[in-house]
């Protein structure tokens, strides 16, 4: 960070020329060892890591339980297909 401040100043940001859209724009920033710093313009592969994402975060993300999914699906899955739909979902959640 000291080198970044020396070269670019004390702010790290992402600026877009069309940033006045109603939807916010952004770019994922990640650490990469090839350049010894932050990157956000190239593809991320096995030599990079997203900034601020801990290893254990994916395990802590809560997903709806099977019963919640089945309840919501009642409005969208026709009765004729519901039994097979439920069976397939149950096989995924084993």
Q: Do residues 48 and 79 both lie within one domain?
A: no
Confirm whether pTM is higher than 0.75: no
Question: Is the pLDDT score of 21 beyond 90?
Answer: no
Q: Do residues 10 and 49 both lie within one domain?
A: yes
Q: Do residues 43 and 3 both lie within one domain?
A: yes
Q: Do residues 35 and 3 both lie within one domain?
A: yes
List CB contacts of 11: < 8 A, sequence separation 6 or more.
Answer: none
Residue 50: per-residue pLDDT: 58
List CB contacts of 89: < 8 A, sequence separation 6 or more.
Answer: 66, 69, 70
Domain region containing 7: 1-55
Q: Do residues 28 and 74 both lie within one domain?
A: no
Q: Do residues 68 and 44 both lie within one domain?
A: no
* Count of domains observed in the chain: 2
On whether the CB atoms of residues 24 and 4 are closer than 8 A, the answer is no
Distance between CA atoms of residues 92 and 85, nearest Å = 11
């Amino acid at each position: 960070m000291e080198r970044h401040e020396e070269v670019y100043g004390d702010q790290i940001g992402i600026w877009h020329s069309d940033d006045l859209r109603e939807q916010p724009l952004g770019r994922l920033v990640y650490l990469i060892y090839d350049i010894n710093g932050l990157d956000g313009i190239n593809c991320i592969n096995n030599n990079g890591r997203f900034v601020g994402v801990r290893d254990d975060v994916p395990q802590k993300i809560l997903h709806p339980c099977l019963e919640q999914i089945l309840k919501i699906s009642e409005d969208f899955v026709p009765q004729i297909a519901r039994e097979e739909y439920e069976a397939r979902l149950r096989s995924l959640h084993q």
